[in-house]
Copies of this chain bind each other. A is one copy, B any other.
């Protein structure tokens, strides 16, 4: 590997001149420029970005921590984050916590070890204190990590409301919600709280099947459905995550439950899989591109030390008209 030194020697100039030319900082005579270009060409020189970043005290990388890439919502989220970070000239490092809090901790450490310039986190398998102790760029999606850490999330409360109101309008008299509440108090749970509040307010009873929030496989849903067969049969309006809703559609058809005639189903998240059946699932959709965009814009502001950070950003949710509810 040729270094900047080799190029300088070969071009017969100083190493700073080469650096200046490469970075477009400062003037370089046409003559020198030409010789340097030739040297670069001849030596097939490519600047080492890690060495370049050391004096600049930057890594050029942002870490993204999420519970599990296997969950479509997070896969879509990271996909968009990666695209947006790339626009800013930053690379994306991923971490699945996969239920292991030590892994989350380790990746958070990367921030202090200077391997990343900032972290966008959507996981919460560690105590929020872990994040609070760090005085570096951190942005949280969905979970309140305490003061000083920007929190960005969908308007989950509105999402729950939209679902409830829709089911009520369609005459639902007995509701069921299936979902995994995060252990901690997080805006993410508002969807269930608000759903229940609105329903109850209108005199409609709500039963809840609580899932372990970290189980991501469909087999788990089947197991749960079998176990709660009766509760399901007794409900004519269901509110569940995309995966749960879709799995329930299949389960229902096996149980001779007609959707939406006998049971209305509203999915939450609105990832691509809700557009699999025809007609598509009725769903409350999070605006993933917007969400990701705000996370990226905010972490970049933090990294660049810009002013005007918004510490609470809420993105709108909307209904996807479908055939299930």
Q: CB within 8 Å of B: which residues of A?
A: 46-51, 53-54, 59-61, 68-70, 72, 75-76, 78-79, 82-83, 86, 91-96, 98, 103, 106, 109-110, 112-115, 216-219, 222, 243, 246-247, 250-251, 253-254, 272-273, 275-278
Please give the distance in Å from A302's CB to the nearest CB on chain B.
16
In the bound assembly, the distance between CA atoms of A54 and B191 in angstroms comes to 47
| Partner among B68, B69, B93, B247 whose Cβ is within 8 Å of the Cβ of A61 | B93
Chain B minimum-CB-distance residue to A47: B113
Known A-B contacts: A46-B109, A250-B278. Give 15 more (CB < 8 A): A47-B113, A49-B113, A49-B114, A50-B50, A50-B114, A69-B69, A75-B75, A79-B96, A86-B103, A92-B93, A93-B94, A218-B272, A222-B278, A251-B278, A253-B253
Q: List 11 A–B pairs whose Cβ atoms lie within 8 Å, in order of A's numbering.
A: A48-B113, A49-B114, A50-B114, A61-B93, A69-B76, A69-B82, A70-B79, A75-B75, A82-B95, A92-B93, A219-B275
| Partner among B47, B98, B110, B113 whose Cβ is within 8 Å of the Cβ of A83 | B98
On whether A250 and B276 interact (CB within 8 A), knowing A69-B82, A93-B92, the answer reads yes
A61 proximity list for chain B (CB < 8 A): 61, 93, 115
Count of this chain's copies in the oligomeric assembly? 2
A112 proximity list for chain B (CB < 8 A): 46
In the bound assembly, the distance between CA atoms of A61 and B54 in angstroms comes to 16
A273 proximity list for chain B (CB < 8 A): 218, 273
In the bound assembly, the distance between CA atoms of A113 and B82 in angstroms comes to 19
**Pair A79/B83 contact, Cβ less than 8 Å:** no
In the bound assembly, the distance between CA atoms of A123 and B46 in angstroms comes to 24
A109 proximity list for chain B (CB < 8 A): 46
Chain B minimum-CB-distance residue to A77: B69
In the bound assembly, the distance between CA atoms of A117 and B85 in angstroms comes to 21
**Pair B272/A217 contact, Cβ less than 8 Å:** yes
**Pair B59/A69 contact, Cβ less than 8 Å:** no
A94 proximity list for chain B (CB < 8 A): 78, 82, 92-94
Chain B minimum-CB-distance residue to A76: B70
A70 proximity list for chain B (CB < 8 A): 72, 75-76, 79, 272
In the bound assembly, the distance between CA atoms of A72 and B251 in angstroms comes to 22
